[in-house]
Amino acid sequence: MTKVTLTVNGRRVSGECEDRTLLVNFIRNNLGLTGTHVGCDTTQCGACTIHMDGRSVKSCSILAVQANGSEIVTIEGLAKDGELHPVQAAFKENHGLQCGFCTPGMVMTAVDMINRHGGELDETTVRHELEGNICRCTGYHNIVKSVLSAADSMKVKQAAE
């Protein structure tokens, strides 16, 4: 067993795991944060997307020991003081989810996408960047609409600050 220490959603945590433990399983099983979903275990679906050291990654493709010392943000860490993150709020307002299974990964991918593009997004870019996230319920129309809405909302909020 190997000791892994991470900062998860702003809190320093440690736990022991086998060297072969995937980060997604460490997050869910050792830390009890079940918002990060296990979908395919092959990096195809994106349900396990989290932020590691400021970038979105698929946590089923990383061993927990490889993430040792990293800063992790999961879907549980986005809302602040009971207020939804603008991307979460946009998904809710624009019906960007149905069954909800892919939603955490979509939201985490969208937050990173908006941050990297400075909120300057168009439909083509959003659709291209969401290619690694699979939703089996929708035609992606409301997901794309949610991401674009959140990008606009975040630009307005940043301009006001």
Full-model pTM:
0.94
Alpha helix segments (H runs only) across the chain:
23-25, 86-93, 103-117, 123-129, 141-160
Neighbours of 112 (CB within 10 A): 20
pLDDT, average across residues 32-57 = 95
Confidence of residue 104 (pLDDT cuts 50, 70, 90): very high
**Phi and psi at residue 78, to the nearest 5°:** -80, -45
Taken in order of first residue, the domains within the chain and their CATH numbers are 2-77 (3.10.20.30), 86-160 (1.10.150.120)
Residue 138 has pLDDT above 90, yes or no: no
Question: And the tokens for 117?
Answer: 């593009």
Q: What is the pLDDT at residue 160?
A: 73
Confidence of residue 12 (pLDDT cuts 50, 70, 90): very high
